[in-house]
Amino acid sequence: MLIKLLPLLLLPMLTVTTLSGQDVKGRFATNKADYGIGEPIFVTLTVSNNGNSPIWVDFKSPDMPLLCHDFAVEIPEAGPAKLWEWGCGISGSCGRSFRQIPAGGNIVRRQLLNMEFSLHEPGTYTLHAHTSIVVHNQDVFDSPEIERLEVSDTLKAHLLRSNESQLKLAFQPYVEELNTAEPEKRSEAAGAITVLAPAFLEDVLIELTNTSYAYSAIEALRKADTPKTREALAQIARNSGDSMLRIQAVRNLGRTNDVTYLPLLFQLMDSDNKDIQNTAAEAAANLGGSTAVPQLSNFISSPNTVTRLAGANGLGNAHANEAVPLLIGMLLDSDHDVRQAAVSGLWLLTHRAAFDGNQWADVASLQSAASVHQRWVRWWSSHGNNSKAHGMGDCSPPKPID
């Protein structure tokens, strides 16, 4: 009799974690309808667990793996934010994990739209938000999927013209949340402030460089672009005890338009720290253009391979035609990494490359590199007078040189 009852006793235990379509719900929302231009705009996804057991969820956003958002938002009326326009290529790993939702509880995920979209004109913007929510009954990476929920919605945001006084009021809650004990709110506040980087918060941005948000705060100093924030960048580049923060400050100093800091970047090109030397070479090229080419040309004759590599990387960022023949000559360098840096620099400067079929021409050996060098010499001889120099602000897939 005991044996016959056992399956019946187990049945309720097996059905405890069974979910219906009503147990897990997702909903998108904005916190208000009207925003001032320059104000943080968040879209919120709330996921609720109406069941009687905890669950773990993962998000499969349509924009992964390019981005690491929990959900995707499309705004037909808005272009990409300017901060996405610097650099050629995006790489990285999302490093995602499951998120627990207790029985009867919910989690809230928020996305700052200003990070991805340019929202600088008044008008009504249509926000198409969507994601897939994958539900698991345990926090194990390969645990089976017990439910998948598709969530989408269309929202509206009205952008109005604003003045500094109005924006100061809009940002005040975020400034206050920098001191909250809740890490997620603190992180969101820091993100809103550093992404938008209003000039009137220059002192807050400088203070943030002394926190765990220092890396993004340094970039925000460049975006705020006031005399005070540029000098703060220079101070970090000169004196920070953290080499990674110095590198970030040097990189962003080179992306300002303040050529008064070019001598500092030339000075940092002589750093014993090779990473700082390389970053300073690129930054000096970004800031100085053709003015930096003579300094960079001294690097390419160095017996030190790392120094020559810094020279090649710098020349590739100089957005100056004077750098092209120097890089063509570096295709014959004895070191493979330097040759490859020359190939990349030539692509960045000219939007051209040597191809063999559908593949970039190989410069792995000195023999193959010599062939590529000759092809570049011929191309430059024919097109050099009419070639337009490019830079990190206008990346493009390469066209063949022959």
Domain spans in the chain, listed from the N-terminal domain onward: 25-83+98-162, 163-249, 296-402
**Interatomic CA distance for residues 49 and 47, integer angstroms:** 7
Fold of 296-402: Leucine-rich Repeat Variant (1.25.10)
- Given a cut of 90, whether residue 83 has pLDDT beyond it is no
Residue 337: pLDDT band by 50, 70, 90 thresholds?
very high
- pLDDT for position 270: 95
Q: pLDDT at position 138, please? A: 87
Average pLDDT, the chain: 90
What beta strand segments (E) does 113-249 contain? 123-136, 147-160
Residue among 199, 205, 195 at smallest CA distance from 167 = 199
Asked if 345 contacts 323 with a C-beta cutoff of 8 angstroms, the reply is yes
Instruction: Give how far Cα 250 sits from Cα of 211, 294, 316, Å.
Output: 19, 20, 17
Q: What per-residue confidence (pLDDT) applies to 339?
A: 97
pLDDT at 36: 97
Residue 9 is predicted with a pLDDT of 34
* pLDDT at residue 64 is higher than 80: no
Angle of helix 336-350 versus helix 366-383 axis, rounded to 10: 20
Whether 1 shows a pLDDT value over 80: the answer reads no
pTM: 0.85
Q: How far is CA 91 from CA 64, 96, 257, 297, 347, in A?
A: 12, 15, 27, 30, 19
Q: Report the topology of domain 163-249.
A: Leucine-rich Repeat Variant (1.25.10)
pLDDT tens by residue, 156-201 = 999 999 999 999 999 999 999 999 999 999 999 999 999 999 999 9
Give the pLDDT score at 8.
Answer: 33
- Give the percent of the chain with pLDDT over 90: 81
Q: Measuring CA to CA, how many Å separate 53 from each of 10, 13, 48?
A: 17, 12, 12
DSSP string of 183-195, one letter each residue: HHHHHHHHHHHHH
Q: What is the pLDDT of residues 189-245, one digit of tens each?
A: 999 999 999 999 999 999 999 999 999 999 999 999 999 999 999 999 999 999 999
Name beta bridge partners: 134: 58, 148
Residue 335 has pLDDT above 70, yes or no: yes
Domain 25-83+98-162 indexed as CATH 2.60.40.10: yes
| Structure confidence by residue, pLDDT tens digits, 11-36 | 333 333 344 456 899 999 998 999 99
The b/e string for 378-388 (b: 16+ C-beta within 10 A; e otherwise) is ebbeeeeeebe
pLDDT of amino acid 95: 58
Do 268 and 237 touch, CB atoms closer than 8 A?
yes
CB contact at 8 A, 135 and 53? no
DSSP lists the bridge partners of residue 159 as 35, 123
Residue 6 has pLDDT above 80, yes or no: no
pLDDT digits 0-9 by tens, 362-395? 999 999 999 999 999 999 999 988 999 998 777 7
Q: How far apart are the first and last CA of the chain?
A: 86
For the beta carbon of residue 136, count every other beta carbon within 10 angstroms: 20
Residue 38, pLDDT > 50, answer: yes
pLDDT mean over 117-131: 96
Same CATH topology for 25-83+98-162 and 163-249: the answer is: no
254/259 Cα distance (integer angstroms): 9
237-295 pLDDT per residue, tens: 999 999 999 999 999 999 999 999 999 999 999 999 999 999 999 999 999 999 999 99
The DSSP H or E segment spanning 34 is strand 34-36
Q: What is the pLDDT of residue 69?
A: 86
Which of 81, 88, 91, 90 lies closest to 391, judged by CA? 88
What pLDDT was estimated at residue 11? 32
pLDDT tier, 141 (very low <50, low <70, confident <90, very high otherwise): confident
- The pLDDT score that the predictor gives to residue 393 is 75
- Looking at residue 91, what is its pLDDT? 45
